[in-house]
Amino acid sequence: MKPNPESCILKNLALVALLIVIVGALGCAGAGSPAPEAPDRGGDTNVDADVESDEELESLLAEYGDEYGEEGAVSRSDPFYYWNVTWFHFNDKFYFWFLQPVAKGYGWAMPDHAQTGINNFFRNIEYPVRLVACLAQGRMYDSGTETGRFLINTTIGVVGFWDAAEQIWEIEAHAEDFDQAIGRWGIGPGWFITWPLLGPSSVRGTVGAVVDRLANPKTWLLADEPAIGIVTTALDIINETSLDPDRYEQMRDMSVEPYIAIRNAYFQNREKKVKE
């Protein structure tokens, strides 16, 4: 029996409302009781040999945060520490034992231009996600830019496989999401949460992810075809990972304590995006 779309909408909206209430109560408490700190292993931080240049290292630092280690990091409330650590290790093993090998094999078999085209296609489909986030922040110019990009790439760019807007007119995308919008409203990230397979997040980030999913056309277009939805999502994740399958490994190996490093980098990265 196929799911009732109206029922799905009501359930999703109810979940969003519940999460927004949670954020309103807890989100402003960006810092709280300090999280349990990992024991000091001693010795120097191991840097992965695959990081071949200072430029590559600086690129990783710029994207994920200024500090990967524990020193100098802001003390964050982490009441779900043991839940988070458990799922961090699960996700870590899933990445190294499954996702990275599959992504590398996929990347070997697929031409580079095909990987880029597929990634462009999926990002083009997610235009409503970026539009809603821009509108929620009152960024009218960026909303217009995203609309223009979508129209150009859907037509001239052959349903989004070619990023004609950037290649021809140098119109760059705005990587906005609803978590950033909530952050711009002055609501803090709240507690850190690691979700199975989905990775690091926060209370605010979880609310944002739910709203982003509601705004994503794939949620509605494939609501009656869950199997196709799973395959499509898997293709998107594997293809995107194949574009740089070693990035997580490099970031992970730059810290003595990977969980704390990923947690700190997540908060710093999200704070940077909110301020942009």
SS3 for 125-173 is HCHHHHHHHHHHCCCHHHHHHHHHHHHHHHHCCCCCCCCHHHHHHCCCC
* Segment (H or E) for 200: strand 199-202
pLDDT at 63: 54
pTM above 0.95, yes or no: no
* Mean pLDDT in residue range 222-243: 95
The amino acid occupying position 49 is A
Closest alpha carbon to 269 in 91, 61, 69, 123 = 61
pLDDT (tens digit per residue) in 28-59? 444 444 445 444 434 443 434 344 444 554 45
Q: Is the pLDDT of residue 74 over 60?
A: no
Band (77; pLDDT cuts 50, 70, 90): confident
